[in-house]
Every structure is written in C-alpha cells, then in structure tokens.
Amino acid sequence: MIVRSNINPSVKIWYPDLVNIYDSTIGEGTKIASFVEIGMAKIGKYCKIEAFSFLPPGTVIEDNVFIGPHVTITNDRCPDAKSKTWKKEPVTVKKGASIGAGSILIAGVTVGENAIVGAGSIVSRDVPAGAVIYKEKQVNEDK
C-alpha cells in the first residue's frame, strides 16, 4: 500500500501491492523490491532497496545508495511500549553507500559517503566516509 507519499514517476516498485510506503519522498530512478516498508522517510535518487528491508520514520537515504535484502534500520535506542514519549533518533545513509544483506543500523547512526557495510553487520556507531566495515565470524578449522 502506498499512501500520502511523493514518489517520482520514474521510480520502479516491482510489486506495488507488496510494499508499505507512507508519508515518504522517493527520488527519481530508485528501484524498490517486494515486501519493503518505508515510513516517513526520505529516499534520494537512483537508490536500490532490496526485498524485506525496513526503513522507519526519520530515515534519510541519500542518492545512489544500495540497501540489501533484509536490512533493518531502527529509530529508537530504548523502545518502551509503556512510555508516553518517544525519542526518535533518525539514521542517515550518505551518497553512494552500500548496506549489505541482513545488516542492522541502530538508531542515530550515520553511514558516510561511499562507505560499505558488509552483510550481517550490526552498526551501532557512525561509519566514516569511504570505510569498509563488516562482521567476520571465525570458523573452527579443527573440525
């Protein structure tokens, strides 16, 4: 379902009935796969957002950004269902950055221009421009 959003006519949403996009702005040439949720976010030009990604309110994705499948962005470091207040901490992904499959971006971080976040990473601090970060799992080679 797509509601109350400003989506450039050149945006390609592969299956519009299989996404939730609300109160968002999406720039020209962007491609969005199925089962993506984008709410109250700003997406730049020529981005690619793969299946099952979640971009919550306050998210800013600049131009030419790749968001891999199953990427989760959060916007609240200390969620509390009983609280009457909510402190939104937006995430920003700068121009040309790539976020690998299954990565999680914790509320308040900024991923710098042309940075690469490897698949399966949990990003809890800002990533400098041009940096390559990833989570490496050690394998026991004795087996």
99 close to 105: Cβ distance less than 8 angstroms = yes
Is beta strand 92-93 parallel, antiparallel or unpaired with respect to 12-13?
unpaired
43 close to 27: Cβ distance less than 8 angstroms = yes
Residue 142 resides in a domain: no
Number of domains present in the structure of the chain: 1
Question: What pLDDT does residue 138 have?
Answer: 60
Residue 58 resides in a domain: yes
pLDDT in tens, 2-26: 999 999 999 999 999 999 999 999 9
Separation in Å, CA 39 to CA 24, 115, 117: 6, 24, 22
Q: Which domain holds residue 11?
A: 1-77+85-136
Residue 143 resides in a domain: no
CATH assignment of the domain containing 108: 2.160.10.10
Identify the DSSP state of 139.
Answer: -
pLDDT in tens, 86-104: 788 999 999 999 999 999 9
* Residue 8, token pair as written in the block: 């450039």
